[in-house]
Every structure is written in C-alpha cells, then in structure tokens.
Structure 1
Amino acid sequence: MKNIVITGTSRGIGFELAQQFANEGHKVLALSRNTKPLETVNHKNITTISVDLSSENDINKAVDFIKNEWNKVDILINNAGKLINKPFEELTTQDFEEVYKVNVFAVAELTKNLLPFMNKGSHVVTVSSMGGIQGSAKFAGLAAYSSAKGAVITLSELLAEEYKEQQIAFNVLALGAVQTEMLEEAFPGYIAPLSAKEMANYIYDFALRGNKFYNGKVLQVSSSTP
C-alpha cells in the first residue's frame, strides 16, 4: 500500500487514476479545484482537497495534510494541465502566465514542497505532451501549451540529476491523443484511439514500477497524434 498524490483529478485521466489506485488499496490524495466528481465517488481510500495549483497557499493545504496524516509520499503524479487554444498573435502575456503557472510553476512548487516527505524509491511522474517533444508535430494555436509542456520535460530531467543520490526518480510521460475534455478543447471533433481509462491503466503501472527501469527519461506514449 502506497501513498499517492495526484493533481488534476476532476476529469479525464486524473479522475480515472485516482479511482484505480484507490481500488487497488492505495491511499490517494486527489488535488483539483473541482472536488465534486470524486466526492461523488466517495471512496474510502481517496481524500480530496480543493486546490488551485497556481496558489502557493492552496498548495500548503496539501502539504499540511501530508504532514499531519501521512508523513510520507511514495508517488507524485503531476497530471494537472491548462490549455489555451488561440492563434499566436492573439495570445497575451496573461495567457502565457496562466498556462505556465499550472503546467510548469505548479509542478515545480508542489514537487519542491513534497520532496521532504519522499524517501529512497519514491517516484515523481509528470504528464507532458507530444507537443512538448522537440522535433514532434506541432499545431497552430498551442504555442503556450506546447512550449510549457516542453519546459516541464527539461525540469524533470534536471531534477532526476539533482536527486539521483537520494534515489528519488523523476520521469515524464509525453502523451499523444487520448479522448479527454482537454483533447476536445485542442482539436474539436477529433476522435482519439485511446480512452482516458486506458491511458490511466498505463500510467498506473508506470508510476508503480517504472522507476525500477527509468530515471530522468521522457517516454513518448503515443499511438497517434491529431
């Protein structure tokens, strides 16, 4: 039984992941602005906290829970993401800041705050996108989102190096097309070959076992891109 922290659990992959870990007997701390979907599930192994990841005070709510209730984190899954789909010339500095706050700065802040609770064998998994992979297909309208997903890949590679002596692993999964609400925001009408639940199954296994085989790596988990 492990203690798992997952962000972005109100819908899509994060929603499915939280339930899968809980159903297998692990304790889950689910962080999302909207906690109602998982509160409706009402699973005894899931604790929900309403968190705006762009707020340092909100992140402290999660840290306080871990300090008081768990005192240990085995797996952190940085799954939350924000996407703004606009032509580049219409993107504002505020748009970029909003996207980077969730996709990059919040990943750094939450990870930094949870590291004191991680021991040898802990695993930090960050969900990125094929759009953040250098040389991959790029799509108009996603300048803020895809560049942020590229930034978080480099951040994870650096953290793997910095914490390798503590034997805390950092890996990134760069996802291709998965049928989620966010995919619909980016590519309206596109039908992906994978469901959120199918991708959650993969991430579940990788989070539990991938750190035995990988550290500082970016795995391209993509059977298709739009």
Structure 2
Amino acid sequence: MHQKSVLITGCSSGIGRETALQFLDEEWEVYATARNPADIETLGERGATIATLDVTDQSDVDRVVDRIIDEQGRIDCLVNNAGYGQLGPIEDVPTEMVHDQFDVNVYGPHRLTRAVLPHMRAQEDGTIINVSSVVGRVSFPGTGVYAGSKFALEAMTDALRGEVEAYGIDAVLIEPGPVETQFTERVDVEVNGGDKTDGIERSGAYETIYKLLDDTAALGGSGPGAIPPAHVAADIVNAASSTKPRARYQSGPVARATVLGRFVPDAWRDALYGLVRKFL
C-alpha cells in the first residue's frame, strides 16, 4: 500500500500545525505550507515537507500541487485550513476588506480544490477537508464578514460533496467552536498588519459591539468551552483516514451546542442579542 500524502494550508500555528503533527504521527507524507516558510521550519525538522504557499496566489497553488504529484504520484487529502477573521459591524467594514476576507477564506480553498480534483478523479479516491467554523452556520453581530465567508465555504462544500461522490472523493467540513489558539490575536493581522479592527471605518453607531469584540475571551481563545487545537486536528485526521467520513464534524461541546441555534426562531436569537447589549 502506498504511503498516503496530504497537503495542509495555514500550518504556521494552531490547528494547522497540530494537524501536520498528527498526520506525521500516523505516518502520512505531509506537505505543510504557510505564507512564511520560517514559521514552519520546525515541522520540516519533524519530517514534513514544507513549502511556501499563499492561497491567494494561483501560481503558488499550481506549483505546490504539481510538486506533490511529481514527488508522490498522487494526492490523497487536501486540508484547507488557512484563514483569518475580519471582525466589525457590516456598515463599518470597507468592501475592500470584505474582498480580502473572501480571497483567503473562500477563493483560496476554491483555487486549491480545483487544482487537486483532476488528480483525485484520475486516482478515483481522495478527501477534501475544509476547516469552517461554528459561525459558518450561526452568525453573530460583529462577525458578519467572517461568518459570511464561512457560510459560503459551507455551501460550496455541500455542493461539492454531491458533485464528486461518483468519483470516490469525499468532501468534509470541520466546524470548530472556540479553540485555544492565537486566532483572536491574529485576527486581521494576516492581511492588514495590525489590530483586529485596523482598517475599520468606525461610524460610532456600534460601540457596544466593539466592546464585545475587545473581549477576546468572548470570541474564543481563553474563553469558556475552548478546546485545544489538537482536538480539532484529531477530527481532521479521523475524517481523512475514514473510508466513509461524516459530512460535518463539530469540534468541541460549544460547537455542538451552538449549531442547534439554527433551529431557534430568529426572533428569539435577536432578542438574546438585544439582552446582551443591555449588559455591555
């Protein structure tokens, strides 16, 4: 049996790094990528093949996928993990920043999916795993742009799953809740180089929402119910290793509880948000 190969994006920290390590433990041939190769040198020391990959650059995508095919002859799994969060009320986020968000979180996975699918179809096997978020199913005030990108990723993956099933290919969504990573510190830094609300055009109408966004614990990281990235990585590796993976994996108790909010009447959710504002 051939050694299975996996391409993982966004391996500089958190979920991506842990995922690479767990695939290595399972003796996969791991291609760990990041925009800055210096961030993943330690993964190279552990046995991964490291490569520079900016998911917004089609030439980067083609180069890395072609390299894997040249060296391994196939690609068994793609993990679209690279992403960042753009926070802020819808009115205050410039359209250019919305485009940047979607370029990384939506167009990036689309570029990579298109690049690997011809090879997976030829081998009649493969798994595409898209790392989404619980906010890809339930959106909250102040997270609309980020949630919108994850809603889009969810819809595309649902469509993809039915499109590629006949070729022996699986499409899987990972939906974490809060995770103990540097995500909240890195929000927007990846693209805009500053604080999580840099570039926002504050209208002055949503200060209570900004107060909530300033509380990073409320968004995950050290917040209640946060899980270690290794928990999410385990779900990813399990999905990649399964002969019949589930369509969705909710990582952590907060994720499993929050997705139930889809079944709560909109008026009830809106009333809850109004109640939260009164206490800010």
Q: Please say whether Structure 1 and Structure 2 have the same fold, judged by a TM-score greater than 0.5.
A: yes
Check whether the contact 1:71–1:117 (CA below 8 A) recurs between aligned residues: no
Q: Deviations over 1:177-205 (max 9, x none)?
A: 11111145475134243111222122222
1:92 aligns with 2:94: yes
C-alpha contact (below 8 Å) 2:90/2:144 kept by paired residues: yes
1:126–1:171 contact (8 Å) kept in structure 2: yes
Query: Structure 1's 152 and 166: CA in aligned 2 closer, same or farther, altered over 3 A?
Result: same
In the alignment, which residue of structure 2 is the partner of 1:212? 244
Matched, 1:193 2:226: yes
Match of 1:132 in 2: 136
Contact 1:66/1:72, CA 8 A, preserved across alignment: yes
CA distance in 2, matches of 1:43, 1:108: 30
Aligned residue for 2:166, secondary structure, equals coil
| Higher helix proportion (structure 1 or 2) | 2
Post-superposition shift, 1:126? 0.6
Alignment-derived partner of residue 51 in structure 1: 53
Paired residue secondary structure (1:163): helix
Matched, 1:202 2:235: yes
Distance of 1:181 and 1:18 partners within structure 2: 17
Distance 2:43 2:82 in 1: 19
CA contact (8 A) 2:177 2:226 kept: no
| Cα RMSD (Å) | 1.9
Shift of 1:44: 5.7
Q: CA deviation at 1:115?
A: 1.1
- Identical counterparts, % of pairs: 29
* Corresponding residue number in structure 2 for 1:177: 178
Q: Which moved more, 1:58-67 or 1:36-45?
A: 36-45
Unaligned segments of structure 2, at least 5 residues: 188-212, 259-280
Letter in 2 for 1:76: L
Distance 1:221 1:196, change over 3 A: closer
TM-aligned CA deviation for residue 206 of structure 1:
2.0
Cα deviation, residue 213, structure 1: 4.1
CA-to-partner distance for each residue in 1:71-129, whole Å, 9 max, x for gaps? 20111111111211122221111111111111111111101111122133311111101
| Greater mean deviation of Cα atoms: 6-15 or 78-87 | 78-87
Structure 1 ranges of 4+ moved more than 6 A: none
In structure 2, which of residues 77, 86, 109 is the aligned counterpart of residue 75 of structure 1? 77
- In structure 1, the gaps of 5 or more residues are none
Which structure: larger Rg?
2
Q: Matched residue of 1:173: which SS?
A: strand
Q: Is 2:97 the counterpart of 1:65?
A: no
Is 1:25 aligned to residue 27 of structure 2? yes
* SS of corresponding position for 2:11: coil
- When normalised by structure 1's length, the TM-score is 0.89
Offset, 1:67: 3.0
Pick from 79, 83, 105 the counterpart of residue 103 of structure 1: 105
* Residues paired across the two proteins, number: 220
- Conserved? CA contact 1:88–1:143, under 8 Å: yes
TM-score by length of 2: 0.73
Matching of residue 122 in structure 1 with residue 126 in structure 2: yes
